[in-house]
Structure 1
Amino acid sequence: MSSERPIYIALGANLPFNGHSPQETLGLALQSLAAKGVRTVRLSSFWTSPAWPDPAKPAYVNAIAEISTDQGAPELLAILQSVEEQFGRVREARWDSRTLDLDIIDFSGLVMGSETLTLPHPRASERGFVLLPLQEIAPHWRHPVSDRAISSLISTLDQRDRDVTRRLD
């Protein structure tokens, strides 16, 4: 077994695309990523959480995937963005509803910041819809910057955030 740290990406959607539900879109996005050399090693359950900042909008479906790729972080980001576009992603307003959202959460523990990419994801440790599915597939994960255990990060989430983020059956 390799001592290299895994790569984790977050998947989310709250709008249908071409007749596919958000959950179906996430599955199709993983197939598209596989065709581009980004293989899913492990996938969390699908989770749901209210839209933010406007909970009146459709709820999100979220998941975390551990992936394997020969690409570096900037190249992976470009692949993720190309798949988002393939599935109708339009970037008009921050935190707007979307057909697909793909984010690098942790790229093998790499810590970096550039104009286009910050690793680890700068807000991942504050989001129940990232931490709860990540804990499901990586219960021993530690934040690459703070070195805090995922259980510790979850314990500091707002209780409401933990309550409204639910695993889909």
Structure 2
Amino acid sequence: MGRDNAVIVALGSNMPGDQPSSEALLEAALSRFPQAGLPVLARSRWWSSAAWPDPKGKEYRNGVAIVEASGPPRTVLEALFAIEGQFGRIRGEANAPRTLDLDLIAYGRQVSDAPGLILPHPRAHERLFVMGPLAEIAPDWVHPVLGKTAAELAASATVGRDAKPL
């Protein structure tokens, strides 16, 4: 699958749930992707960043995976929500601490503003903790709307500027 056709998922956690660490939780979540019909083609290292928008919270761990998907974007999103649920994620307040956050960043070159399914993710390009890990595994991936590469977007990201690989 070419990078332009990539199905990109961002993973994040700052509460390990019943796992020994957020990194362990993210590894466990990633191991569920193939069972959900989303075999992992590439993945980044885990990155750390201060909690956002309140930096006094527990640090986040983030990463990105490129997966193979045969179903439509909404089916992929539902599979991601199901995995989140398996790790105790309850969707509530935006930007609240969470055990697991799985975001569908891009589904190939598709652009959508359907309710509950905005593609590409409307804020991912601003976040170093998403674009940094993506640039690590697919620096030449081109944002379907902005026309910039993951490497360019990582360099210009304004949110999570402290993000760095572990």
Q: CA deviation at 1:150?
A: 2.3
Q: Which residue of 2 aligns with 1:166?
A: 164
Output the amino acid matched with 1:55: P
Q: CA deviation at 1:68?
A: 0.6
CA distance in 2 between counterparts of 1:127 and 1:110 reads 20
Output the amino acid matched with 1:113: D
Larger displacement relative to structure 2 (20-29 or 81-90): 20-29
What pairs with 1:67-82 in structure 2 (closer than 5 Å)?
Answer: 67-82=67-82
CA distance in 2 between counterparts of 1:23 and 1:12 reads 9
Larger displacement relative to structure 2 (6-15 or 31-40): 31-40
CA contact (8 A) 2:132 2:151 kept: no
Output the amino acid matched with 2:134: L
Q: CA deviation at 1:10?
A: 0.2
What pairs with 1:1-169 in structure 2 (closer than 5 Å)?
Answer: 5-158=5-158, 161-162=160-161, 164-168=162-166
CA distance in 1 between counterparts of 2:106 and 2:119 reads 6
CA distance in 2 between counterparts of 1:3 and 1:48 reads 25
Change (3 A) 1:148 1:2: closer
Q: CA deviation at 1:56?
A: 1.0
Gaps of 5+ in 1: none
CA distance in 2 between counterparts of 1:108 and 1:127 reads 19
Deviations 1:25-63 (A, max 9, x none): 111111112112111110101001111111111111000
CA distance in 2 between counterparts of 1:19 and 1:4 reads 34
How many aligned positions are there? 166
Tell me how large the CA RMSD over aligned residues is. Answer: 1.6
Identity of aligned residues (%): 37
